[in-house]
Amino acid sequence: MKNTVNVLGIEFINKNFNEVIEILKNNIQSNKKSFVVTANPEIAMFAYEHPDYNAIVQLADMVVPDGIGIVMASKILNTPIQERVAGFDLTVRLLELGNEHKWRIYLLGGKEETNKKAVANIASRYPQLQIVGSHHGYFDWKEGIVTEEIQAAKPDIVFVALGYPRQEEWIVENLPRFSKGLFMGVGGSIDVLAGEVKRAPQFFRRLNLEWFYRLLKQPTRWRRMLALPQFLVQIFKIKLSDKTN
């Protein structure tokens, strides 16, 4: 079985959830610096249309298929990915492991209140975890305060919730300044950790309809969700051109 599967020019890891966690855990425990992108169809489509962002995604040590749309696309292209690996699930599992192993974490992003609430919730739910720093996501990148804080705190994991493409841009721009740590863009996960946004109930998740639940809850996102049909159109175009070759 191939270790990665290419969908729209992005190499997605083709491992199950536990295997992905095992790799990340090993990286953390051996102080290996790494950059992880959790890419859904919206992100894959954005990268496809924006070469600068695509170049950033290509620098990732691992891209995980965050969204059933990516898994569906891989099947359509006859190179099926084993399973969806949701960014939020990875975040929660890493927090659990962090609690077990007393890892150091840094939480970057979200509005000031959101960030504070997320930190408070994590601290009470995972008391052994060391939250070595946090900062809201509306800061001047050029000032470098956040970077300096992280350099000094040496976290094992930095969760970066600035929304795409900003979170991946920030990671790639700043990564050379850090000596260790897992850097992962976690987008809206911080809103869920803060308790401000609810994750889709089991029922929707089991039917792979998490996106539909979100659409019902946050109808203003509908325009962004058009990325999904556009993504599938691209996938079918690729499939058809493969057949005619």
Interface residue list for ligand UDP (CB under 6 A) = 109-111, 114, 137-138, 161-164, 166, 187-188, 190-191
Closest CA to 155 of 90, 97, 102: 102
Ranked by CB distance to ligand UDP, the top (closest) residue is 137
> 180 vs 213, which CB is nearer to ligand UDP?
213
List CB contacts of 61: < 8 A, sequence separation 6 or more.
27, 34, 35, 36
DSSP-assigned letters across all residues of 74-127: HHHTT---S----HHHHHHHHHHHHHHHT-EEEEEES-HHHHHHHHHHHHHH-T
Q: C-alpha 237: how far from its chain's center?
A: 27
- Please, what is the minimum distance in Å from the beta carbon of residue 114 to ligand UDP? 6
Report the nearest approach of ligand UDP to the CB of residue 187 (Å): 3
Give the residue with the Cβ less far from ligand UDP, 77 or 108.
108
**Using CA atoms, how far apart are residues 20 and 13, in angstroms rounded to an integer?**
8
Pick the closer one to ligand UDP by CB: 65 or 188.
188
For residue 200, give the DSSP letter.
P
Shortest gap between Cβ of 194 and ligand UDP (angstroms)? Answer: 8
What CA–CA distance (Å, rounded) separates 146 from 197? 26
> Phi/psi of residue 190, each to 5°?
-65, -30
Q: Which is nearer to ligand UDP, 66 or 156 (CB)?
A: 66
Least spacing, CB of residue 163 vs ligand UDP, in Å: 3
Is the preceding peptide bond at 219 cis, omega within 30 degrees of 0?
Answer: no
CA distance 20 to 85: 8
Residue 157 vs 184, nearer CB to ligand UDP: 184
Between residues 14 and 114, which has the closer beta carbon with respect to ligand UDP? 114
Q: Which residues make Cβ contacts (< 8 Å) with residue 33, sequence separation at least 6? A: 27, 175, 178, 179, 180, 181, 182, 183
The minimum distance between CB 79 and ligand UDP, in angstroms, equals 26
Task: Kindly tell me which of 39 and 77 has the beta carbon lying closer to ligand UDP.
Answer: 39
Distance (Å, rounded) from C-alpha 113 to C-alpha 88?
A: 20
The nearest distance, CB 146 to ligand UDP, in angstroms, is: 11
CB of 117 to ligand UDP, least distance (A): 11
